[in-house]
Amino acid sequence: MENYYDHRSHRGIEIPRLFYDSLTHQPFARCQVCEKQLVETGASYMIEKVFRKNVVSGRIESQYEFAICFDCALKLTQSYSEESRANLQRFFNEEVADLINSPAAERPESERDVLELLSHCSITGKPVNELDEYQIAGHFNGGYLNTDMRPFMMGAGSMDDVSDLLSNKTLDEIDDFTGKFLTGPPEFRDFFKSPKRRPILV
């Protein structure tokens, strides 16, 4: 019997279930912006999901999530202010790049390895079971995780640090993006309002 967590092929690891669409329980089929087919065309794209503890049930639930192709992601980031782009580049070079891109870093070889990588904040090391809110992101090619750029997780504190790097112009661009392309529960818009405005990590 195949190991539940072992989904390898010569092309890489099949999309881990943690990155599935929470409504359909299937891989994201289209880019949230341009509606380009992602899996069928073998496109390069990014999936981002934010989880938060439900204050009523105490359960961690996906609060917003999206898939975006690299072409649309590039257009979004190019709309950011020069100040924000410089701040983000410096932050990720100093805090994240070595963790997800270093040749010396161990590459995940199975879905189990991916879950282990995402079991703690990639920046602070804080375990996921101690977090009330966190954000995960990964790069994909068609139906496979791109393990050359390892998936990463950021706890709420690190998310706040990233938001603090963004200019008002960039925050306005993110507001426009989320208003046009992302949907969620009624409290969804709270993610993008002061003082806890959440970043888009494309």
Identify whether 157 is part of a domain: yes
Identify whether 106 is part of a domain: yes
Where b means 16+ CB within 10 Å and e means fewer, 129-139 reads eebebbbbbbb
pLDDT at 10: 46
pLDDT at 1: 35
Q: Over its length of 202 residues, how does the chain's per-residue pLDDT go in tens digits?
A: 344 444 554 467 999 999 999 989 999 999 999 999 999 999 999 999 989 888 788 888 888 889 999 999 998 888 888 998 898 888 887 776 665 555 545 778 899 999 998 999 988 889 999 999 999 999 999 999 998 888 989 998 888 888 888 888 888 888 778 777 765 555 545 555 554 556 666 6
Number of structural domains in the chain: 1
Relative to beta strand 144-145, strand 12-14 is antiparallel
Q: What is the CA radius of gyration of the chain?
A: 16
- Token code pair at residue 157: 């504190």
Identify whether 146 is part of a domain: yes
Identify whether 159 is part of a domain: yes
Identify whether 197 is part of a domain: no
State the residue range of the domain holding 31.
Answer: 8-192
pLDDT at 44: 95
Identify whether 44 is part of a domain: yes
Identify whether 200 is part of a domain: no
Q: Give Cα separations from 186 to 3, 63, 114 (angstroms).
A: 39, 10, 31
pLDDT at 46: 95
pLDDT at 57: 84
